[in-house]
A and B are shown apart, each in its own frame.
Chain A
């Protein structure tokens, strides 16, 4: 039986790697997750026959059913806009599970080997931090916890808590099987506190990077606990996720022009020295009928959606408008900035939900050289990601951030609720450009008007 279990675990690990590989392309991605899911199912079922499992079968099944059903229902119900916090929540559960495994192993005090004990302790710290940190990230994105919490000397206090956690961990490792239960409890309490304290000063905009980091950490914790339990499937799957997650975190931070150290240890909006350049020109208004005419007789239209579009639930109407334009022979492309939406790739999910096919959606590098040959750019719900100040004004807080060069297009239409500077409070030079016209109104209403106007043409 042990051999069969090992073979199944091997197949499971293989399916995870293949599944993750397939998830790297939109054509095969769906199959990838199904294969990985199949691997998980096999591995879980065969574990019932594991020789180390001697009792608790019923409660084990109850726990699987309870956790599985609650997660299934919440996963089916969650809105696509709320995806980031849901991922944070499920990730926190994984980290908590790894930490709980470590807790049981450490309670048993049956270590025969220092390496095993060290990895058990390391996995415990990492898993616990990922657990409490992810829960805070969830609470923040879900709106259960408002704003950022900062106090003087915060980084020093955090560092102190971290050092205490590590010291307690080291004490456990060094004392072999003779540590006090009190030490163990204190070790977990400090690790929990560190996860919380590390996450509370981080703002909502940076949260995706943090969630991605905790995802990688959970993977690592699972890998370490896999070694402790002598389970190669956990070791491989955990470490693969650990390294994939680390790279993904770096890619996200790079796309947001925010070094990871900045996200974790400083506050947004501190960059930029001196006065921002004054904006010249004025905002020029246009109405939706004129915009409809412009787009209908254009050769190429590029739509730049931002999270504002999703908030206004306008993506379905925008797709309807796109189809009308396509019927008229207009080439329509969607340009997505890496940070559009609430995390990298989130906007693609929201557009996919509305039915927009992925092959007319382009990312920054693919679309930027096309703007000079674009007749009309429609900016809807996006702001900073099209602000040319990022290119031209070294004093701007967003200077250096890669942007979509919408200002190079022949005509730019900006759909906007009102005349304010919006979310980040940074003045957008694009709105004042000669080739820009402002179309004021709620995203959903504007898209509706455009659809109607196009029909009447």
Chain B
């Protein structure tokens, strides 16, 4: 049964991922790829757990590498995505019409 719950989670997550991307404009493809790259940085959590119960030199060393790489993925992915998205600004005209409550 537990395996089937996992299967449902996988299926629903796949649908969500697909739906999120279908309506995205081309202008955001690069930051979005970078952003999704950041999100799989959650692998850090798993790497920490694995290192936290690693036994012996081989397991500990590989665990250390896992945490190191995962931290690089998460932090690097965040920094470059944030840098790119921070630059996307609307024109003054659009900002004004927003402030006035127009569209």
Question: Are A and B physically bound partners?
Answer: yes
Residues of chain A having any CB pair with chain B under 8 Å: 9, 12, 16-17, 19-21, 23-27, 29-30, 32-34, 36-37, 40, 43-44, 47-48, 50, 52-57, 59-60, 63-72, 74-76, 78, 80, 83-84, 86-87, 89-91, 93-94, 96-98, 100-101, 103-105, 107-108, 115, 211-212, 215, 218-219, 222-223, 225-227, 229, 231-248, 251-252, 255, 336, 338, 341, 343-346, 348-349, 352-353, 355, 357-361, 363-364
* A-B pairs with beta carbons under 8 Å apart, 25 shown: A23-B31, A26-B27, A33-B82, A44-B74, A52-B52, A53-B53, A56-B63, A67-B75, A68-B74, A71-B75, A76-B83, A86-B76, A87-B77, A87-B80, A90-B73, A94-B37, A96-B69, A101-B50, A218-B40, A235-B6, A244-B20, A248-B32, A345-B30, A348-B27, A364-B26
Min C-beta distance of A93 to chain B, whole Å: 4
Interface residues of B in 37-85 (CB under 8 A from A): 37-55, 58-60, 62-85
A68 touches B71 (CB 8 A): yes
Shortest CB-to-CB span from B85 to chain A, Å, is 5
Q: By the criterion CB–CB under 8 Å, are B66 and A90 in contact?
A: no
Q: Are B89 and A94 in contact (CB under 8 A)?
A: no
From B15, which residue of chain A is reached at the shortest CB distance? A243
Q: What's the least CB distance linking A354 to chain B, in Å?
A: 9
Q: Is the CB of B29 within 8 A of A343?
A: yes
Query: Is the CB–CB distance between A29 and B85 below 8 Å?
Result: yes
The distance from the CB of A98 to the nearest CB of chain B, in whole angstroms, is 5
Measured between beta carbons, the chain B residues less than 8 angstroms from A364 are: 26
Please tell me which one of the listed residues A20, A53, A255 contacts residue B35 in the complex, with CB atoms under 8 A apart: A20
The answer to whether B14 and A93 touch across the interface, beta carbons within 8 angstroms, is no
Task: Say what secondary structure dominates the interface of chain A.
Answer: helix
A229 near B46 with CB under 8 A, answer: yes
In the complex the two chains form, is B21's CB within 8 Å of A247's CB? yes
B3 within 8 A of A: yes
Q: Which of A32, A52, A222 has the most CB of B within 10 A?
A: A222
* B50/A239 in contact, CB under 8 A: no
- CB-based nearest A residue for B52: A53
| Min distance, Cβ B42 to any Cβ of chain A, angstroms | 4
CA distance A248 to B29 in the complex (A): 8
Contacts of A246 in B (CB 8 A): 18
- CB A51 to nearest CB in B, in angstroms, measures 10
Q: Are B27 and A68 neighbours in the complex by a CB distance under 8 Å?
A: no
Asked if A24 meets B44 with Cβ closer than 8 Å, knowing A104-B59, A107-B59, A243-B13, the reply is no
Contact in complex: B69, A93 (CB < 8 Å): yes
Chain B contacts for A103, CB-based, 8 A: 62
Chain B 1-16: CB-based contact to A (< 8 A → 1; otherwise 0) = 0010010011001111
**With the chains together, A210 CA to B74 CA distance in Å?**
20
A78 and B76 CA atoms in complex are apart in Å by 11
Residue B90 lies at the interface, judged by CB distance under 8 Å to chain A: yes
**A66 touching B68 by the CB < 8 A rule?**
yes
Q: Does B25 sit within 8 A of A, measured CB to CB?
A: yes
